[in-house]
């Protein structure tokens, strides 16, 4: 493995002073429904509202003094954009965020609120990469990939490290899979620190590139993803895929209605705000709940950044 | 005072094993907006989702063995109905809940879910009282008023006791006022345990009987209340009013738009689900925020039971 236990431990030590130690919550009603003990690691309470803060910060904290002068750059319209902007702000360096011109105003506003400089581009992969390359050439900023980056992956793995520290004897840990940063970090942490625990990924049926990749034993890129879980639209990367292939027990695909139902259950019963992507992990458990009777399950609630003006219920 | 410090202490000891010690959260962004340090006591995480559990349970735990055989009864279409049903269920006794026939299905379902027996009546005060009297006559159940009851008031005061235990040096404690159970319990606890702390109540402009009563120095009943804060529609009672008159610093009235804005701020920034009534307290602070610069403020978030299918944003 590229990322060793020591790397994860150093990562956690590095970012710990700057992140929240998020709480682990449970709900007796959800436990009753599943017939299992479920522990929710609440990354919706993380700084800027999602686990992405961990990986972004880990990468930013390892920049050289030279690199810090030029800042960082990424392309993202989601939580990683905000996470990188905030991480950079905390270290007093610049963050250039390439976003499609049609990205929701609320997301642009959030990035600006954290002091990020937005560079708009047309809404396609080519424009995004061209614009990013131009920004990097002009500014000398270091490009950080939202998930296909070992420093980012190691950072995301620290959520599972904390969960395992508090609940050592989990039978399963479940997290959503999009680009694979969270699930691969989670799988690595679990592999080293709780090897008997099985790692399961939840994935939307309408963006099932991870499931396809596992089926065909090769990296299948996502095309035309369709899901409410807007954090899970991206393809696996060449760094995240092999970790998932080797360390994730299985990918469980869930329908849109199952995602919304799981999200509603979390909001109504736990009284916490989670984004649709977060609910995918619980939806995966609810879908096959008969398999989890009497088990201890950790679920990573990935984030809570949701547009309240556009809810699915 | 009818309720002494000793009563509050005994109440807390009595109910403690059966309730959640709810967390106290804060938000750096909300602190920045107000320019103060705000500590939110999260009763939205309380059992059945609201502080009402404390008062209902306190009353149920003091029933005699004779009374337990006949059960308890109340009229309520809100959180107290659910709280009494759950408290009774926990003590293996019957709960008869008189509800208007046009009460929302979701609320009836919640009461039934906790094992309460619903008796429907026409939607007016007379029908409610006639029906309740009939139920009490037929079953021998003990009537428990949702707020105008010293045992209930003492129970509600335990939320502030816990908050003061964790933050002894608050300048203000703020809670919403409806029938006055929460604010009078809060004011009593503060009076005994943190006498320098001022207690402020938030009240919707469209249901401002507490404000009217304070202005005229007499109990003015609420007529035709109009507010989204559906936990705050009721009139003060002859037990809650004098406590409020003597111990509450002032009532701050807020507009509907201010309630919704405060609710949205809490959802978006704290990632927690609170009901509109809960947001009234923060709305009261935001309305006069220049008065609170540099102060330490405790806010009691009363509950999180909200119909997700009918949100104001």
Give the pLDDT confidence score for residue B184 in this predicted structure: 98
Residue in A131, A191, A186, A187 with CA at minimum distance from that of residue A160: A186
Burial class (CB in 10 A: 0-12, 13-18, 19+), B169: exposed
Of A264, A271, A273, the CB nearest to B49: A271
Of residues A144 and A106, more confidently modeled: A144
Of B45, B309, B311, the CB nearest to A271: B45
Burial class (CB in 10 A: 0-12, 13-18, 19+), A294: exposed
Q: Mean pLDDT over residues A203-207, rounded?
A: 98
Round to whole Å and give the CA distance between B138 and B96: 11
Round to whole Å and give the CA distance between B266 and B40: 10
Round to whole Å and give the CA distance between B274 and B30: 15
- Cβ-defined contact of B271 to A274 (cutoff 8 Å): yes
Q: Mean pLDDT over residues A52-71, rounded?
A: 98
What residues of chain A lie within 8 A of the CB of B271, using their CB? 44-45, 49, 272-274, 304
Q: Tell me what percent of the residues of chain A surpass a pLDDT of 90.
A: 94
- Cβ-defined contact of A271 to B273 (cutoff 8 Å): yes
Provide the token pair at A24.
């682990």
**B104 Cβ neighbours under 8 A, 6+ residues apart:** B77, B307
Q: Mean pLDDT over residues A240-247, rounded?
A: 98
- Per-residue model confidence as pLDDT tens digits over B295-305: 999 999 999 99
- Give the confidence band of B308 by pLDDT, cuts at 50, 70, 90: very high
Provide the token pair at A274.
């989670």
Chain B, window 183-222: residues with a beta carbon less than 8 angstroms from a chain A beta carbon: none
- Tell me what the pLDDT averaged over chain A comes to: 96
- Give the confidence band of A102 by pLDDT, cuts at 50, 70, 90: confident
Give the pLDDT confidence score for residue B247 in this predicted structure: 98
- Cβ-defined contact of B272 to A272 (cutoff 8 Å): yes
Give the pLDDT confidence score for residue A81 in this predicted structure: 96
Burial class (CB in 10 A: 0-12, 13-18, 19+), A209: buried
Q: Does A44 touch chain B (CB under 8 A)?
A: yes
Q: Does A89 touch chain B (CB under 8 A)?
A: no
Q: Mean pLDDT over residues B143-152, rounded?
A: 98
Instruction: Determine the residue of chain A that is closest to B306 in CA distance.
Output: A268
Q: Does A288 touch chain B (CB under 8 A)?
A: no
Q: Does A309 touch chain B (CB under 8 A)?
A: yes
- Rounded to a whole number, what is the distance in Å from the CA of A268 to chain B's nearest CA? 7
Q: Mean pLDDT over residues B209-226, rounded?
A: 96
What residues of chain A lie within 8 A of the CB of B308, using their CB? 264, 267-268, 311, 313
- Cβ-defined contact of A267 to B273 (cutoff 8 Å): yes
- Give the confidence band of A148 by pLDDT, cuts at 50, 70, 90: very high
ipTM of the complex: 0.94
Asked whether residue A65 carries a pLDDT value surpassing 90, the answer given is yes
Q: Does B89 touch chain A (CB under 8 A)?
A: no
Give the pLDDT confidence score for residue A232 in this predicted structure: 96
- Rounded to a whole number, what is the distance in Å from the CA of A112 to chain B's nearest CA? 15
Of residues B76 and B53, more confidently modeled: B53
Q: Does B309 touch chain A (CB under 8 A)?
A: yes
Asked whether residue A112 carries a pLDDT value surpassing 90, the answer given is yes
**A139 Cβ neighbours under 8 A, 6+ residues apart:** A70, A71, A73, A94, A96
- Cβ-defined contact of B308 to A313 (cutoff 8 Å): yes
Residue in A157, A163, A300 with CA at minimum distance from that of residue A239: A157
Q: Mean pLDDT over residues B22-51, rounded?
A: 97
Asked whether residue A308 carries a pLDDT value surpassing 90, the answer given is yes
Asked whether residue A104 carries a pLDDT value surpassing 90, the answer given is no
Give the pLDDT confidence score for residue A106 in this predicted structure: 81
Stated as kind and residue range, the H or E segment containing A265 is helix A256-270
Catalytic positions of A, written as ranges: 52, 77
Provide the token pair at B221.
């009943």
Round to whole Å and give the CA distance between B115 and B111: 7
Round to whole Å and give the CA distance between A194 and B234: 54
- Give the confidence band of A198 by pLDDT, cuts at 50, 70, 90: very high
Give the pLDDT confidence score for residue A103 in this predicted structure: 84
Round to whole Å and give the CA distance between B159 and A75: 46
Asked whether residue A139 carries a pLDDT value surpassing 90, the answer given is yes
Cβ-Cβ pairs closer than 8 A, A with B, add up to 36
Round to whole Å and give the CA distance between A22 and B244: 38
* Whether A231 contacts A275, CB under 8 Å: yes
Of residues B100 and A96, more confidently modeled: A96
Asked whether residue B124 carries a pLDDT value surpassing 90, the answer given is no
Kindly write down the DSSP assignment for every residue of A195-256, as one continuous string: TTSEEEEEEEGGG-HHHHHHHHTS-PPP-S---S-TTS-SPP-TTHHHHHHHH--EEEEE-H
- Give the confidence band of B104 by pLDDT, cuts at 50, 70, 90: confident
- Give the confidence band of B261 by pLDDT, cuts at 50, 70, 90: very high
What residues of chain B lie within 8 A of the CB of A313, using their CB? 308-309
- What chain B holds in terms of domains, given with CATH numbers, is 5-50+150-301 (3.40.50.1100), 53-143 (3.40.50.1100)
Going by the DSSP 8-state scheme, the letter that residue B203 receives in this structure is: E
Q: Give the Cβ contact number of residue A110 at 10 Å.
A: 19
* Whether B135 contacts B98, CB under 8 Å: yes
Give the pLDDT confidence score for residue A287 in this predicted structure: 98
Instruction: Determine the residue of chain B that is closest to A275 in CA distance.
Output: B271
Q: Does A308 touch chain B (CB under 8 A)?
A: yes
- Cβ-defined contact of A49 to B271 (cutoff 8 Å): yes
Q: Mean pLDDT over residues B38-65, rounded?
A: 98
Asked whether residue B48 carries a pLDDT value surpassing 90, the answer given is yes
Q: Does A276 touch chain B (CB under 8 A)?
A: no
A96, β-bridge pairs: A73, A117
Going by the DSSP 8-state scheme, the letter that residue B139 receives in this structure is: H
The number of C-alpha atoms within 13 Å of B160 and in the hemisphere containing its C-beta is 36
């Amino acid at each position: 493995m590229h990322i060793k236990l020591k790397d994860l431990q150093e990562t956690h030590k590095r970012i710990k002073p700057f992140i929240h130690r998020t709480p682990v919550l449970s709900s007796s009603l959800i436990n009753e429904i599943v017939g299992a003990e479920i522990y929710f690691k609440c990354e919706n309470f993380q700084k800027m509202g999602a686990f992405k803060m961990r990986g972004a910060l880990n990468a930013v904290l390892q920049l050289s003094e030279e690199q810090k002068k030029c800042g960082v750059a990424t392309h993202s319209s989601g939580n990683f954009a905000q996470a990188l902007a905030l991480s950079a702000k905390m270290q007093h360096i610049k963050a250039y965020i390439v976003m499609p011109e049609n990205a929701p105003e609320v997301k642009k506003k959030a990035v600006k609120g954290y002091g990020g400089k937005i560079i708009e581009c047309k809404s396609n992969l080519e424009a995004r990469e061209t614009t990013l390359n131009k920004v990097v050439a002009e500014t000398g900023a270091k490009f950080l990939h939202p998930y296909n980056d070992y420093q980012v992956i190691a950072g995301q793995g620290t959520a599972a490290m904390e969960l395992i520290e508090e609940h050592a004897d989990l039978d399963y840990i479940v997290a959503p899979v999009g680009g694979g940063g969270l699930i691969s970090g989670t799988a690595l942490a679990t592999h080293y620190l709780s090897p008997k625990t099985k790692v399961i990924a939840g994935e939307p049926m309408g963006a099932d590139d991870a499931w396809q990749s596992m089926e065909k034993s090769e990296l299948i890129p996502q095309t035309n993803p369709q899901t409410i879980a807007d954090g899970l639209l991206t393809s696996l990367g060449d760094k995240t895929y092999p970790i998932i292939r080797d360390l994730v027990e299985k990918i469980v695909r869930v329908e849109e209605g199952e995602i919304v139902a799981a999200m509603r259950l979390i909001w109504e019963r736990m009284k916490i705000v989670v984004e649709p992507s977060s609910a995918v992990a619980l939806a995966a458990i609810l879908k096959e709940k008969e398999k989890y009777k009497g088990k201890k399950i950790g679920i990573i609630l990935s984030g809570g950044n949701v547009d309240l003006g556009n809810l699915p219920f």
